[in-house]
Structure 1
Amino acid sequence: MDYSAYLKDKGRFISEFGWQAPPTLELLKEYIEPGDLYPYSKTMEAHNKQKEGQERLYRFLAAHYPVPESIKRFTLYCQLNQAEALKTAVEHWRTRMFKTGGCLIWQLEDCWPVTSWSLIDYGLNLKASYYFVKRAFQQIISPLLIKDGKAYIYIVNETGEELRANLRFSIIDFYGETYYSEIVSVSVPPYTSKLVIERSLDKLLLSSDRVLSVVLEKDGNTIYEDAKTVQEPKHLKLPKPNIKIETLKSDTAKFKVSLRSDVYAKAVWMRLNEVKAKFNDNFFDILPRKSKTIEVSTEKDLSLSEFKSLLKIEAYPYN
């Protein structure tokens, strides 16, 4: 059963759920010989203890993403599929506050280099799902859920204070042209989930190059954003983004990276070659002509020029 089925679940408390994905390519290269480093090798199958594990990865991946021969793309696409599955589930159950009182994800991390349900692999590398789940569990979220031919936009306020904010729902194309937009001023009581916008998809100006965008702003600051393409990722014909990068060194072994894209950039992946680093966010979308700033901590101090030379940034469908 595909992860869209989560949107129909009415469980009171979800004691265990999850979705499989391979570990990072970095870890696979550490434990698997180069000749066996392809998606359907016997070694890859041996590193998945789920019954029909690799077959299930292929089946569920094919519903949403291309099924590539490249081990790099296969790993990344499976991780994005896992991330979308967990995000869909968590956001759905949170909008049901308190009809659904909580959920527990299986699992946080691994005890072996394996394809599994974890958010963190055996080498303590963070999968894409870690960042998706981190965003979905923020105290305040405004998820966009698509089901039964409609777009539902909620605000979930899991704080002890009333939230007063502006919610903007837009439909744009990959280049940033707007085809529909509405702004709603909202007041959401503490510990409340509120349905703010409900729109029939057949009444909206949708086509294959469109993105549904939600931005929640308070006092001029964006506190949550969500975006969904009209088409499944496997069908997207995305323009190649030109991402402008500005970096500064904010402290010892700490950096800030500002990214701005000329077109819609999906699941932007940041990493640092050769040096371990922690990113406060990753695998995020950037809307056309919008900016996003990421904070990075490195395991050892680097000069700004060293940091720039090691920084790698790619967007879906990746190289």
Structure 2
Amino acid sequence: MLETISFAQRQRLAYIDFCLLFKGAIYRQDLISKFEVGLSAGSRDFSLYKELAPSNLQYDAKEKRYFQTEGFVPLFEHDARKTLVKLANDISDGFDAIGDIQFPVESASSLNVPDIFVVAKLVQAIVNNKAVSVIYTSLSSGSNARELVPHSIVDNGQRWHVRAYDRKTSSFRDFVLTRISKVTLKATPDMSETVSNDIQWQRKISLELVPHPKNIQHPTAIELDYGMQNGVLKVPVRAAMAGYLLRRWNVDCTKHASLRTGEYQLWLRNQMLLTDIDNLAIAPGYIGEQTQYG
């Protein structure tokens, strides 16, 4: 039946499906405002969606919105990589579910594709301010149950993580999405477990990157590559994300620019800035405290 309806209506149905999957609920007004349709048209869309997937949603008359049911099965196929990019950029149109325009763009992190239902549950927890119970498989301890309070999903350039408060260690950490399974929503967390108390996430720093003083013979080329001003590129970044950026760009983080192989074209000039930042075991050449990596 989906093939017989107009593309515009399929897009609206995909949006309903998207919101139910990733937010757990949707107001009728959300659809009307998003697509600038009338009340009657919006009502017809919800009626058609319920006809096509009667077990996917239920209406709460008190809250005046539709909620995802326990037996929810997506009506459309939502691509995990596209969805994560859209979530990261606050785009929630469900458009990829009905065949949006294909661009010749590939991602270097294409090998790391998380389970879409794991992502959906974590996004629901973030949007609705909930804790989650998960099974997490770590390199150090294998598979174990963890209780997390997630607040952000992060692309480190290689793979996707969720930033969350970990009740096991009483600290904020990063957890690789592909290592998470069996996500269950739990009660609202304490204020001490929420993003406002994630000091490393809230703190903003400015990394000063310069052409590597020992590996680069013609620094002007690097200055042009990175659009440096007066030979310096100042990069604002959350403290919690600094290690990922430095590794992704192969930035020499030693005090005296001592990494001499060719892949290190940049040097961190203000290396002393990292002394009180967690999660830097992955920063090239940096020797500091133990990483806070899940």
Question: TM-score when scaled to structure 2?
Answer: 0.29
- Greater length-normalized contact order (CA 8 Å, ≥ 6 residues apart): 1
Structure index of larger Rg: 2
Higher strand share: 1
Higher helix share: 2
